[in-house]
């Protein structure tokens, strides 16, 4: 028997194996990440595991996928439910900025402390907003919806197995193997020819719209390992001749505690794809939509801390307009030093970050809770830095309404609130540390 947690860990490994054969640079990234983590642990034996044990961090991955319709999203939610992953948070990456995209997103991930400790695999999942008039006119919406309705991303057998896994909390050996094979296969790059004119029509509006709605299958867009020192990783990848994007997204490297999430990526790789031309002929060509990404995770911030983060980023934006990545980083550093406490104690005293409490002897020990989610700004930056052009939108038009309730309705499942999850984890530990907790909660 394989319970949902075993299935999640096995799926993460299986996807990783598959993606490594499709994108060999991913294997390099994993090897370098592992070396960075090993060296970091050796150099910082006391503090390195403060935000997660080394075995968790080394196995830790997040993936990104993109689907086209509410129905496809519901199926994805069913597949991830089989793996003990629930939708957490609502991200709207649309808007008027040059980085805005015609999608809304959520992140599927385990939500309890124990499940996260077993394997924290998470998948950033985006769904196309086909009726957003800033991007698509009525004719294109109709054409897109028709195209999307005519494809099937996930075989019925996979959905049936996923429903069973969710209901029973486990699958037998044969079913588990079949489930993993079908689930992994659903995210492989399809060899089916891409209709060149249709793809190009969407790509003029948004590379992401074309990647989602221009093809008849989905695929994993990237798979991201976690490192303990992203600056070391950046330097080592650059030394290997792999061109990274010019900025680490999110907080800067500084002497104080790492908060939230730092991410960087390397550019989309040109991959061989087959095309169907307007005369019906099938030709060979290339598309660049997939990339490599790596991340370093920090302490989860409370709502107060998160509001401060947003204010700091706004200040960075204002002060760094027109400057290059290195200068922008200097400003980030300046803003961090001026605004954020430089110690965990300082963060805790100001109520800016989440912590767990554990009684050791007659002392209560405080440990930071790691950030398990994503950052909309960084996500938009990661998307944008890997697109070859900004696309086109008409910001004067009214956008289609999407919110967390829409996502929940589409999936037939509630969307978990990130802050509530951290609060629950912190509160449960505080209760245990006072000795009045329910033993069964441990
Ligand atoms: C998702 C981009 C966002 C992250 O780590 O912030 C993301 C995508 O490219 O589909 O993965
Ligand atoms: Ni990512």
| Mean pLDDT value across residues 97-109 | 89
Residue 440: pLDDT band (50, 70, 90) is very low
Ligand 1, atom 5: closest residue by C-alpha: 379
Residue 362: pLDDT band (50, 70, 90) is confident
Q: Which residue has the higher pLDDT, 394 or 213?
A: 213
Instruction: Report the alpha-carbon distance of residue 55 to residue 62 in Å, rounded.
Output: 16
Region of 84 please: left (phi>0), alpha (psi -120 to 50) or beta: left
What does the domain layout of the chain look like in residue ranges? 2-300+354-433, 301-338
The position carrying tokens 């920090």 is 298
Ligand 1 atom with minimal separation from the 295 CA:
5
Degrees (nearest 5) of the Cα angle 219, 146, 143? 100
Give percent of the chain above pLDDT 90: 83
| Mean pLDDT value across residues 283-309 | 94
Burial class (CB in 10 A: 0-12, 13-18, 19+), 207: buried
Instruction: Report the alpha-carbon distance of residue 185 to residue 219 in Å, rounded.
Output: 9
Give residue 436's pLDDT. Answer: 56
Give residue 247's pLDDT. Answer: 84
Q: Which two tokens stand for residue 37?
A: 């983590």
The rounded Å distance from CA 303 to ligand 1 centre is 22
Tell me which H or E stretch contains 413. Answer: none
Of 71, 136, 137, 81, residue with least CA distance to 109 = 81
pLDDT of 412 over the 80 cut:
yes
Q: pLDDT by residue (tens digit) across 251-267?
A: 999 999 999 999 999 87
C-alpha 440 chain-centroid distance = 32
Instruction: Report the alpha-carbon distance of residue 225 to residue 221 in Å, rounded.
Output: 14
| Mean pLDDT value across residues 375-386 | 82
Ligand 1 atom with minimal separation from the 126 CA:
10
Burial class (CB in 10 A: 0-12, 13-18, 19+), 233: buried
Q: pLDDT by residue (tens digit) across 267-290?
A: 777 889 999 999 999 999 998 888
Give residue 390's pLDDT. Answer: 74
Instruction: Report the alpha-carbon distance of residue 261 to residue 245 in Å, rounded.
Output: 16
- Answer for the pair 130, 213: CB distance below 8 angstroms, yes or no: yes
Ligand 1, atom 8: closest residue by C-alpha: 64
Tell me which H or E stretch contains 5. Answer: helix 4-22
Mutate which of 19, 29, 64 to test ligand 1's pocket (most atoms within 8 Å of Cβ)?
64
Burial class (CB in 10 A: 0-12, 13-18, 19+), 11: buried
Region of 170 please: left (phi>0), alpha (psi -120 to 50) or beta: beta
The rounded Å distance from CA 214 to ligand 1 centre is 19
Ligand 1, atom 6: closest residue by C-alpha: 379
| Mean pLDDT value across residues 190-207 | 94
- Answer for the pair 215, 284: CB distance below 8 angstroms, yes or no: no
Measured from the CB, is residue 379 less than 6 Å from ligand 1? yes
Give percent of the chain above pLDDT 70: 98
Ligand 1, atom 1: closest residue by C-alpha: 64
- Sign, CA dihedral 238-60-108-13, equals positive
Which CA distances in Å does 281 have to 20, 142, 274, 436?
A: 31, 26, 10, 72
The rounded Å distance from CA 383 to ligand 1 centre is 6
Residue 16: pLDDT band (50, 70, 90) is very high
Write the DSSP symbol of residue 347.
H
CATH topology for the 2-300+354-433 domain:
2,3-Dihydroxybiphenyl 1,2-Dioxygenase; domain 1 (3.10.180)
Of 200, 369, 222, 196, residue with least CA distance to 283 = 196
Measured from the CB, is residue 36 less than 6 Å from ligand 1? no
Measured from the CB, is residue 118 less than 6 Å from ligand 1? no
**The whole model's pTM is what?**
0.95
Ligand 1, atom 9: closest residue by C-alpha: 383
């Amino acid at each position: 028997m394989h319970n949902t947690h075993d299935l999640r860990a096995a799926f993460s490994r299986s996807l990783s194996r598959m993606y490594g054969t499709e994108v060999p640079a991913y294997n390099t990234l994993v090897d370098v990440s592992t070396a960075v983590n090993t060296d970091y642990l050796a150099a910082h034996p006391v503090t390195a595991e403060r935000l997660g044990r080394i075995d968790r961090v080394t196995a830790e991955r997040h993936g990104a996928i993109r689907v086209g319709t509410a129905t496809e999203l519901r199926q994805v939610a069913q597949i991830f439910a089989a793996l003990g992953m629930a939708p957490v948070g609502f991200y709207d990456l649309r808007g008027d900025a040059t980085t805005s995209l015609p999608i809304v997103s959520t992140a599927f991930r385990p939500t309890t402390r124990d499940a996260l400790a077993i394997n924290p695999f998470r998948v950033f999942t985006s769904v196309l907003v086909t009726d957003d008039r800033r991007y698509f006119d009525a004719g294109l919406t109709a054409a897109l919806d028709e195209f999307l309705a005519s494809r099937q991303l996930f075989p019925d057998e996979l959905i049936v197995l996923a429903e069973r896994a969710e209901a029973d909390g486990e699958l037998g050996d044969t079913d588990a193997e079949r489930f993993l094979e079908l689930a992994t296969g659903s995210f492989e790059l399809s060899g089916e020819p891409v209709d060149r004119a249709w793809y190009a029509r969407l790509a003029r509006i948004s590379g992401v719209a074309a990647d989602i709605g221009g093809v008849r299958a989905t695929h994993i867009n990237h798979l991201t390992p976690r490192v303990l020192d992203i600056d070391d990783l950046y330097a080592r990848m650059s030394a290997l001749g792999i061109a990274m994007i010019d900025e680490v997204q999110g907080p800067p490297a500084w002497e104080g505690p790492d908060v939230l999430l730092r991410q960087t990526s390397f550019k989309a790789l040109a991959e061989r794809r087959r095309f169907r031309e307007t005369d019906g002929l099938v030709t060979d060509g290339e598309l660049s939509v997939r990339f490599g990404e790596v991340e370093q995770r920090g302490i989860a911030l409370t709502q107060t801390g998160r509001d401060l983060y947003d204010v700091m980023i706004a200040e960075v934006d204002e002060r760094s307009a027109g400057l290059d990545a290195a200068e922008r980083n200097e400003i980030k550093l300046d803003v961090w030093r001026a605004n954020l406490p430089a110690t965990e104690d300082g963060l805790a005293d100001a109520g800016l970050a989440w912590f767990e409490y554990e009684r050791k002897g007659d002392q209560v020990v405080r440990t930071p809770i790691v950030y398990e989610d994503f950052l909309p700004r960084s996500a938009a930056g990661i998307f944008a830095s890997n697109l070859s052009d900004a696309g086109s939108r008409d910001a004067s038009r009214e956008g289609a309404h999407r919110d967390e309730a829409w996502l929940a309705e589409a999936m037939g499942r509630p969307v978990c609130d990130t802050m509530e999850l951290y609060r629950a984890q912190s509160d449960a530990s505080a209760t245990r540390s006072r000795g009045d907790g329910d033993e069964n909660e441990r």
